A and B are shown apart, each in its own frame.
Chain A
């Protein structure tokens, strides 16, 4: 069931980071919306109160996901005046293409929207979700992506706006790809995140960490990661490790002491997964490659403590200012 949310008023604040989710009928927008919205809640509150150092980030929520229903049959679409205002206020335009369906219509539609949105707001991030790829075989996914990228490039060339940056994501709500895609989209919208990434880079360099993620515990969207490339497998393992830690802790939870959680797990090939709760529902999950568990963990624990202090510092200053 798709329930389009109608935005009464685009928003008075033009700098507000809004994600506009568009696409043809039955592309899966509302499902994405539910998955992401449901998971977005803790992240929202995080940015409302905690690390809101940049003053521009005082929103009622971090991401406003407005679903704009597009009729599938019309091949001519001209947004009214209201949508012009809307395009000006959004930070990212997410266009959902159903990869299991005939997508030529969607591509023409998308090109038109890009042309319009780009005219109104050249700063806009255009993100294309090649959605529902869970039903496609591995080879076919890449073929589809290549085909779609090629066709969009051609369309934009025809329209004379080849300078637009369009990012593509292969997504499905049945695995972690939608979180991964949204993590990337959200990160693009928070310009202040480089400071967090810098902190993580520092941490990684000094603790033999292979990969680290700063997760929002409830949504499993990662707010920041270090600058080494993200490998989807690693992300999935780290996200699932959050579940393991939280679920195990819930079973034997002691209601009185509310101490921060710390968890580490050693795998047989010497990988160590660690989990540390940070401030305000954030958690640092790291993957370490080392065989000597005890000494490694001592160093990591110490460094993570410093990292946590740095986060607290950022948060404290943002309250004061």
Chain B
């Protein structure tokens, strides 16, 4: 990978919407339960996260109390909204003052249009677990339509996700956000598809090592619509679920004062290190008689294409 890339991500939203909880779960190995002890964020909390080696995510977690908020839009506006790559705006679905929430969103869009018009906008409807299951989709659609309308005025195209810290939806959202920042995505995908052909795998997924966010998968592109109907039976949410499962396992392995290294399930499913910041997840067809040594050797040789 080349290029020194420092990406500025703004994490905004009104107070109590769960911004710091998200950050702690994805980047600091908190469990959903642990986030209860997080206090209010004062002003802006910066964190620098190294991601995939030479990409640095500069996450600005902006405290959401009105006092701070007003400050962002007046005194600090050029400081906050300059050179922004990504705005992640978090909405609390349980919020009583929806119009005020949207108002704040509009204000930040206004600033972005002025200071960084090329920013990508992501909207997370957070705390979805508090809504009844049958009403979630409807609520999400209503909210997204409204938000899309408002953001169109400022010339931004927005992408939205329903999220909750209690299930895997959080990983889906953050995977898409982070993936949108990776420059040489095509090369990763191409290499992965080649590797899949060589070892005749059912599926290969690439994960970032520390956060276990999905980088890409061998079936993400055109392959999924091809004749192989085997994939249609698979769980569409499997990537996020794997992230979730593996993140939990990573945490439990810290109890043995160690870190996860590799896993082999039934000689069909392998998870191992590919480089210092990538994990590879390989699933082989279940009817085949697989040799785990052979697979490991193949993956070892694949390593140089993913450095």
Contact = CB atoms under 8 A, between A and B. Distances in A.
Nearest to B262: A266
B263 interface: yes
B256 interface: yes
B291 to A, nearest CB: 12
A254 B238 contact: no
Contacts of B262: 265-266
B249 A240 contact: yes
B255 A233 contact: yes
Interface in A224-271: 233-234, 236-237, 240-241, 243-245, 247-249, 251-252, 254, 257, 259, 261-269, 271
Q: Which of A236, A248, A259 has the most CB of B within 10 A?
A: A248
B283 A252 contact: yes
B113 to A, nearest CB: 42
B266 A259 contact: yes
A269 B146 CA distance: 52
Contacts of A257: 286-287
Contact of B255 (A174, A237, A247): A237
B248 interface: yes
Interface of A: 174, 233-234, 236-237, 240-241, 243-245, 247-249, 251-252, 254, 257, 259, 261-269, 271, 287, 294
Contact of B234 (A249, A251, A261, A294): A251
Given A266-B262, A268-B261, A237 B248 contact: no
Interface string B252-288: 1101111111111111110000000000000100110
A237 B202 contact: no
B82 interface: no
A265 B255 contact: no
B265 A248 contact: yes
A234 B256 contact: yes
Interface string B229-259: 0000011001001100110110011011111
Given A251-B238, A267-B256, A244 B249 contact: yes
Interface of B: 33, 202-203, 234-235, 238, 241-242, 245-246, 248-249, 252-253, 255-269, 283, 286-287, 293
B253 A247 contact: no
Given A267-B261, A269-B258, 16 more contacts: A233-B255, A237-B255, A240-B248, A240-B252, A243-B248, A249-B266, A249-B269, A251-B241, A252-B203, A263-B263, A265-B249, A265-B262, A265-B263, A266-B263, A267-B256, A271-B256
A252 to B, nearest CB: 5
A265 B252 CA distance: 13
A263 B256 contact: no
Nearest to A267: B258
A268 B242 contact: no
Contact of B263 (A247, A261, A264, A271): A264
Contact of A268 (B234, B241, B260): B260
Given A248-B242, A252-B234, A265 B258 contact: no
Nearest to A252: B283
Contacts of A247: 241, 245
Contacts of B261: 265-268
A174 B242 CA distance: 23
A283 B141 CA distance: 44
Contacts of A243: 245, 248
B154 to A, nearest CB: 40
Contacts of B266: 249, 259, 261-263
Nearest to A255: B233
Contacts of B253: 237, 267
Q: Which of B241, B255, B259 has the most CB of A within 10 A?
A: B255
B245 A248 contact: yes
Contacts of B252: 236-237, 240-241
Q: Which of B241, B248, B262 has the most CB of A within 10 A?
A: B262
A233 B252 CA distance: 9
Contacts of B242: 248, 251
A247 B246 CA distance: 10
Contacts of A244: 245-246, 248-249, 263
A233 B257 CA distance: 10
Contacts of A261: 265-266
A62 to B, nearest CB: 28
Contacts of A265: 249, 260-264
B250 to A, nearest CB: 10
B269 A252 contact: yes
The 7 closest A-B pairs by CB, nearest first: A254-B286, A267-B258, A269-B258, A240-B252, A265-B263, A263-B265, A268-B259
A257 B265 CA distance: 15
A271 B259 CA distance: 10
A223 B238 CA distance: 32
A221 B253 CA distance: 20
Contact of A269 (B246, B257, B265, B268): B257
Contacts of B258: 267-269, 271
Nearest to B281: A248
A33 B268 CA distance: 38
A161 to B, nearest CB: 40
B32 to A, nearest CB: 12
